[in-house]
Structure 1
Amino acid sequence: MRVTADRETCVGAGLCALTAPQVFDQDDEGVVVVLTAEPGDEARPAAREAGTLCPSGAVRVVE
């Protein structure tokens, strides 16, 4: 699994950081920050859900 986020597309909703805090965070402006591009097995379900929930489509999860 590979996780990426387009910081230019991010609208700062924060669903990624709330859903998968071990994978995503937000900077001081509320823009997504990827903490780990290759999450471990325990974080993968949450990372997938974050990719689904992102309202702007900034978060991408590739298996």
Structure 2
Amino acid sequence: MKVNLDQDRCVASGQCVVAAPDVFDQRDDDGIAVLLDAAPPANDADDVRHAAAVCPALAIRLEE
């Protein structure tokens, strides 16, 4: 799986961080999401899919 995060679309809701904290974080100054791992291990795949599904800005794209 490859994860793409469009920071320009991010609205800093933090849902991705809650869903997949090993893959996403947020910047301290404005809360915009940061991608920690663009190719997460298979055991994180379900969490990453959930993060993409709950992102209100649709800023997360996955390539399976």
**TM-score normalized by the length of structure 1:** 0.96
Whole-angstrom distance in 1 between the partners of 2:33 and 2:4: 10
Tell me the SS of whatever aligns to 2:13.
Answer: coil
RMSD (Å), alpha carbons? 0.6
Counterpart in the other structure of 1:13: 13
**Shift of the alpha carbon at 1:62?**
1.4
**Shift of the alpha carbon at 1:30?**
0.3
Counterpart in the other structure of 2:23: 23
**TM-score normalized by the length of structure 2:** 0.94
**Shift of the alpha carbon at 1:42?**
1.0
Whole-angstrom distance in 1 between the partners of 2:33 and 2:50: 15
Whole-angstrom distance in 2 between the partners of 1:8 and 1:16: 15
Q: Which amino acid aligns with 1:55?
A: P
Counterpart in the other structure of 1:57: 58
Whole-angstrom distance in 2 between the partners of 1:9 and 1:19: 18
Moved over 4 A (4+): none
Count residues in correspondence: 63
